[in-house]
């Protein structure tokens, strides 16, 4: 699909309904936003005095020599069982053992199948801070439980929600908002209601492609409105859905509605925005949004049915008591 041939007319709070012509192209972004691991820590109880009895766990700073012993010399990640070693005692992780073709990266000797059981036992006695400590996570975990937590840590960086290209950028919400605006040239709007018109000169040319991403700022939060065309089985469809720029638990405190129609017909969708923790493809493939079949879309467009002209309106509201399941809209001004 030729993205340059798509005309999007948008209006939201504070904007009139005069046509604003916007032409969107892909803007690939290849930079990543990295966050270094914590370099110092302290025991969970804050007591630095040594106990008379042997401790069951040792809280240790990642910058110490013991942590360096547990660092793979190839990938520099922390090593987890099985930890391999060569005949000279050099260690590396099991993932990198296959990458170096069974040769020690330090002395070039053949590795064989020697396990470094002593180092694995040392690791069992350690407690380390989450690697996202610098982003606000205060947790400290046993060495072997650290990875499981970090995979789901609420303080871990977010991936770029832009769906039009494989973007590797990661960071916090404020970083991603600036990244979407400056690098992907995404439209930014303030307000919790919107009124968009999507125009395509040849709607029969439907391919898997993103047409538009718009970011809305309301209730002090950011939301991503997606609209695109793709093949659902053998049938081309159009889909609109909303994602929340934050975690899933907070996303559940908001609701949104989408409406499209014309010539006496109307389709309405109401739902909860998905967190950008869920990938764009995951949300799309779950069909969690407003789906419009092409024949119905052309009917809404009217005329000779040779041009797509869809007007999608909607609003976002915050649930007053989401735990109770109440759906009382609390619209922003």
The pLDDT, as a whole number, for residue 154 is: 87
> Which of 152, 88, 95, 94 is closest to 120 using CA atoms?
94
**DSSP 3-state of 130:** coil
Are 299 and 265 a contacting pair, CB within 8 Å? yes
The pLDDT, as a whole number, for residue 305 is: 65
Both 125 and 207 in one domain: the answer is no
The pLDDT, as a whole number, for residue 9 is: 46
Asked whether the CA dihedral 178, 184, 189, 193 is positive or negative, the reply is negative
Which among 118, 151, 184 is the end of a domain? 151
* Domain tally, the chain: 2
| Residue 240 is assigned to a structural domain of this protein | yes
Which among 135, 151, 167 is the end of a domain? 151
Which among 151, 168, 184 is the end of a domain? 151
| Residue 251 is assigned to a structural domain of this protein | yes
Both 200 and 291 in one domain: the answer is yes
Separation of alpha carbons 126 and 146, rounded Å? 10
Both 100 and 188 in one domain: the answer is no
Both 191 and 138 in one domain: the answer is no
| Residue 174 is assigned to a structural domain of this protein | yes
Provide the residue range defining the domain that includes 179.
Answer: 158-318
| Residue 7 is assigned to a structural domain of this protein | no
Chain-centroid distance, C-alpha 67: 30
Both 263 and 120 in one domain: the answer is no
Both 192 and 307 in one domain: the answer is yes
Q: Which helix (H) or strand (E) holds 200?
A: strand 193-200
| Residue 303 is assigned to a structural domain of this protein | yes
Give the angle subtended at the CA of 40 by the CAs of 97 and 123, to the nearest 5°: 40
**DSSP 3-state of 258:** strand
The pLDDT, as a whole number, for residue 242 is: 96
Burial of 50 (0-12, 13-18, 19+ CB in 10 A): exposed
| Residue 175 is assigned to a structural domain of this protein | yes
Both 288 and 167 in one domain: the answer is yes
DSSP letter (8 states) at residue 324 = G
Cis peptide before 124 (omega within 30 of 0): no
Q: Which residues, given as ranges, of the chain have pLDDT below 50?
A: 1-63, 208, 324-333
Both 186 and 122 in one domain: the answer is no
User: What CATH code is carried by the domain that includes residue 308?
Assistant: 2.60.210.10
Both 170 and 302 in one domain: the answer is yes
Both 296 and 271 in one domain: the answer is yes
């Amino acid at each position: 699909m030729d993205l340059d041939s798509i005309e999007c007319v948008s209006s939201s709070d504070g904007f009139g309904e005069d046509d604003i012509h916007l032409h969107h192209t892909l803007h690939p972004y290849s930079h990543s936003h990295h966050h270094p691991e914590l370099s110092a820590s302290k025991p969970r109880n804050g007591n630095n005095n040594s106990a008379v009895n042997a401790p069951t766990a040792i809280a240790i700073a990642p910058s110490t020599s013991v942590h360096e012993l547990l660092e793979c010399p190839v990938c520099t990640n922390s090593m987890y069982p099985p930890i391999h070693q060569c005949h000279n005692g050099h260690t590396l992780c099991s993932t990198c053992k296959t990458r170096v073709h069974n040769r020690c990266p330090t002395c070039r000797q053949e590795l064989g199948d020697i396990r470094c059981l002593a180092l694995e036992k040392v690791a069992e006695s350690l407690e380390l801070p989450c690697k996202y400590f610098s982003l606000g996570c205060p947790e400290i975990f046993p060495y072997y439980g650290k990875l499981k937590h970090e995979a789901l840590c609420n303080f871990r960086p977010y991936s770029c929600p832009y769906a039009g290209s494989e973007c590797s950028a990661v960071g916090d919400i404020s970083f991603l908002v600036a990244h979407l605006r400056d690098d992907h040239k995404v439209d930014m709007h303030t307000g919790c209601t919107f009124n968009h018109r999507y125009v395509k000169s040849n709607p029969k040319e439907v391919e898997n492609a993103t047409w538009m991403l718009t970011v809305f700022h309301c209730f002090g939060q950011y939301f991503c409105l997606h609209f695109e065309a793709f093949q659902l089985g053998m049938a081309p469809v159009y889909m609109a859905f909303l994602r929340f720029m934050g975690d899933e638990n907070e996303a559940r405190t908001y609701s949104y509605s989408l409406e499209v129609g014309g010539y006496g017909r109307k389709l309405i969708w109401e739902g909860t925005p998905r967190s950008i923790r869920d990938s764009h493809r995951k949300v799309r493939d779950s069909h969690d949004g407003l789906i419009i079949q092409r024949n119905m879309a052309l009917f809404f467009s009217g005329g000779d049915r040779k041009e797509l002209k869809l007007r999608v309106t909607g609003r976002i509201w915050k649930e007053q008591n989401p735990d109770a399941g109440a759906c009382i809209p609390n619209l922003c001004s």
